[in-house]
Chain A
Amino acid sequence: MVDTRYHPLFERWLTELAESDEEVFAEVMALLVALEQHGRDLDDETRDESHPVVTARYDLHALRRTPPTLSTPYADRPPVLRILYGFCTQPDGTDVAVVLIAGDKTALGNNWYRPNITEAQARLEQYTRQHTDLTPIVKRGNR
């Protein structure tokens, strides 16, 4: 289990989603609870639900709306959601996952990532300024 927290701007987005599309809200919640349950293991081996963001300075990852399966045959159709989250450490050495920003990359394709990674990193810094017990994890090679 990993302590899973939301940046206030992500919390705002999820509140709007819960009101506008119950089904996608349910799918997003499944991803967020899977993150809470599996932590770093979620984007190991099979990268269906989550993958690392290699171009980020911090230890960022992206949750993906589940790929097409029996129960989600339309999952490759809009919205193609990506939800960026980053890991921080607490003084006792345990990880905290902070969920930062979500968006539909249907229109932009992979061009969605660059501006949103920049914003996600700014939000992670802002979050750790507010919660001074947390330190964002900088990826190896970028220290």
Chain B
Amino acid sequence: MTKRTIPVDTAKAADSNLTQDDWEQAEGAHERFKNLLDAKPRAKARFDVVLAEINQRQATLRRLREARTLTQSTIAELLEMDQSEVSRLERRSDMLLSTLKRFVQANGGELHLVVQFPDSAAVELLVGDE
């Protein structure tokens, strides 16, 4: 592994004597660094991969519901359970496929389970009701 040189920040706010220029430099810095990234193709490629992974981990059932601007109470009513049960369900990482199917349906969607082998056509598994 290559030796990395990460800058060390030991500055103290109390005696940093920041000038008006420093403060102005920090304004809109986030946008400026994003633009800098676009000018560095290798860094941009790495950024895209890491951000995609983070977004994948963020794609939970809760966000799926929130994206449809539905509340836990609405889903709870449709699934005939308590709001607290919906809350727990959304935190679960493992559940019955039938439960997942009902959750997705309550959000107005359809669950499709597709099995893909490298050497044959995709097969869709049917998810039964409870």
Residues of A in contact with B (beta carbons under 8 Å apart): 4-14, 16-18, 20-27, 29-34, 36-38, 41-42, 45-46, 48-49, 66, 69, 71-72, 74, 77-79, 81, 101-104, 119, 122-123, 125-126, 130
B16-43 Cβ-contact flags toward A at 8 Å (1 or 0): 1010001101110110011011001011
Query: Which of A11, A25, A34, A42 is in CB contact (< 8 Å) with B43?
Result: A25
Could you list 19 further interchain pairs (A-B, Cβ under 8 angstroms) beyond the known A9-B9, A13-B7, A42-B58?
A6-B30, A8-B25, A9-B16, A11-B25, A12-B9, A12-B22, A17-B6, A21-B5, A25-B37, A25-B43, A26-B43, A27-B50, A29-B47, A30-B50, A33-B47, A46-B58, A48-B54, A119-B12, A123-B13
B80-97 Cβ-contact flags toward A at 8 Å (1 or 0): 000000000001000000
A5 touches B29 (CB 8 A): yes
B44 touches A26 (CB 8 A): yes
A interface SS class: helix
Query: Which of A6, A12, A16, A24 is in CB contact (< 8 Å) with B4?
Result: A24
Interface size class of B (residues with CB under 8 A): 35 or more
Query: Which of B27, B30, B49 is in CB contact (< 8 Å) with A32?
Result: B30
In the complex, what's the smallest C-beta–C-beta distance from B79 to chain A, in angstroms?
20
Using known A-B contacts A29-B34, A66-B50, A71-B50, determine if residue A48 contacts B57 with beta carbons closer than 8 Å: yes
Using known A-B contacts A9-B13, A49-B57, determine if residue A30 contacts B51 with beta carbons closer than 8 Å: yes
B interface SS class: helix
A122 touches B7 (CB 8 A): no
Closest to B20 in A: A130
In the complex, what's the smallest C-beta–C-beta distance from B8 to chain A, in angstroms?
7
6 interchain pairs, CB-CB under 8 A: A6-B26, A25-B43, A27-B50, A29-B43, A30-B47, A33-B51
B114 interfacial by beta-carbon distance below 8 Å: no
A77 touches B1 (CB 8 A): yes
- Hey, which chain B residues are within 8 Å of A81, CB to CB? 6
- Hey, which chain A residues are within 8 Å of B27, CB to CB? 5
A11 touches B26 (CB 8 A): yes
